[in-house]
Amino acid sequence: MRKNGILNQEILKATGSLGHTDHLVICDAGLPIPLGVERIDLTVVRGLPRFLDVLKPVMAEIVVEKIILATEIKKASPELLAQIRELAGAIPIDFVSHVEFKRLTRDAKAVIRTGEHTPYSNIILQSGVDFS
């Protein structure tokens, strides 16, 4: 049994299989998940688990070299964007249209679905390499 960190077996499998430049998506309850992409559905009820409650431990587990967000988050959910920026630190953030964001999810290794209902609570984490 793991002592700490992520305990969910499906999330551990997904994060453990990431290679350089692979994408892992964490999304709200409303994002359509493409057929053929691994779906890790954590939704219990509306609002649970929260997006940030899943994002924080995942980011602590993997090397993230880039973050991709929908441009629409800037107007629809500026508070959430501020929290993501704080978590990101020096990690670059790219913004794309929500339509493009959904297209990019087709190539993700996995999509982790939360119960979040805050608009545009969706993120693509691009896996990096730890050559420090």
Q: pLDDT tens across 61-81, in order?
A: 999 999 999 999 999 999 999
Q: What are phi and psi of 106, to 5 degrees?
A: -60, -30
Q: What are phi and psi of 126, to 5 degrees?
A: -90, 120
Does the 9-127 domain belong in CATH 3.10.20.30? no
CB atoms within 10 A of CB 60: 10
pLDDT for residue 45: 96
- Which residues have a catalytic role annotated? 20
- Give the residue extent of every domain in the chain: 9-127
pLDDT under 70 in the chain at which residues? 132
pTM beyond 0.75: yes
Q: Distance between CA 15 and CA 63 in Å, rounded? A: 10
Q: CA torsion angle for 21, 24, 30, 32 (degrees, to 10)?
A: 60
Q: What is the DSSP letter of 2?
A: -
